[in-house]
Structure formats: structure tokens, C-alpha cells
């Protein structure tokens, strides 16, 4: 099998997983700026093709939002794929080094907190879902 075709399939599945969970995919710098400057709370899932993204981060992202409190906006950028969009998103995460997969939580366009790769890798999806919901409890309104 051609490696590039295989990787395209992996990327397509990773993109589809997070879109189906209800996250808006941001592929350009302009889309990132528009999305991350919205009023309210925004959860950014920094997607990737690694195993901890597919086995932990995306399932946690999909399930954490079925909760009493949740962010106003759910968006995603894809590290290693949509490089310009990912770099722009990371400019909003002041004080946090690049990390993927990861989750950034913003309020009115300003970074509040992040779950970095070290908060995801080595944990299971339920652990990460709980960490996300703790952020929601602290910073989101009830739906």
C-alpha cells in the first residue's frame, strides 16, 4: 500500500471523527481569527494523527460536550496538516508551548487554560473527558 494514500485515509478519518462530534474545522488563518475572536467560551481541539489523539483525545472531545455545562463554540485545527491555521491558533495560546493533541480553552479570544499532550498521553478517554468537564464547570454556563 502507498504510504501517502494510507496517511490520507488516516487524516480523513481523524477529520471526520471530530467534525461528526460537532467541532467546526478551521483550515485557514482567516477562519482561525474569525473563530477565536468570537465572544464567549471556545474549546479548541488541536487534532493530530498520533495514537493518543485517536484513542484518547478525539473520544474525550466527542463525549465531554454531552454535559450540563459546555463551551459556546467548539473548533478544531489539525497539527501537521493545516500548518498555517495551527500556527495562527497557537499564537492565541500565549504561555503554552506547541503541543498536539491538546485542548485550548479561551474566553472572549483570550487563553484561559490548556490540556497539553502530557495531560492526555498515558491517560484514558474518560480521564481526559473528566478534565475537560472540570474546565467547563469552572468557566462555562449551564446549557
Which one of the listed residues 50, 56, 79, 129 is annotated catalytic?
50
Output helix, strand, coil percentages for the chain, rounded to the nearest 5: 50, 20, 30
In angstroms, what CA-CA distances link 14 with 4, 20, 44? 15, 10, 15
52 catalytic? Reply is yes
- Contacts with 64 (C-beta within 8 Å, 6 or more apart), sequence order: 70, 128, 129, 132, 133, 136
Which one of the listed residues 18, 43, 52, 74 is annotated catalytic?
52
140 catalytic? Reply is no
Residues classed as catalytic: 50, 52
Amino acid at each position: 500500500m502507498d504510504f501517502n494514500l494510507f496517511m490520507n485515509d488516516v487524516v480523513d478519518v481523524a477529520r471526520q471523527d471530530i467534525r461528526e462530534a460537532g467541532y467546526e474545522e478551521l483550515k485557514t488563518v482567516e477562519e482561525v481569527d474569525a473563530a477565536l475572536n468570537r465572544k464567549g467560551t471556545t474549546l479548541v481541539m488541536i487534532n493530530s494523527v498520533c495514537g493518543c489523539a485517536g484513542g484518547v483525545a478525539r473520544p474525550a472531545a466527542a463525549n465531554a460536550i454531552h454535559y450540563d455545562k459546555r463551551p459556546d463554540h467548539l473548533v478544531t485545527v489539525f497539527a501537521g496538516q493545516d500548518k498555517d491555521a495551527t500556527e495562527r491558533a497557537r499564537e492565541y495560546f500565549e504561555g503554552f508551548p506547541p503541543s498536539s493533541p491538546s485542548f485550548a480553552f479561551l474566553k472572549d479570544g483570550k487563553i484561559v487554560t490548556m490540556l497539553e499532550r502530557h495531560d492526555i498521553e498515558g491517560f484514558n478517554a474518560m480521564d481526559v473527558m473528566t478534565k475537560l468537564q472540570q474546565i467547563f464547570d469552572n468557566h462555562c454556563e449551564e446549557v
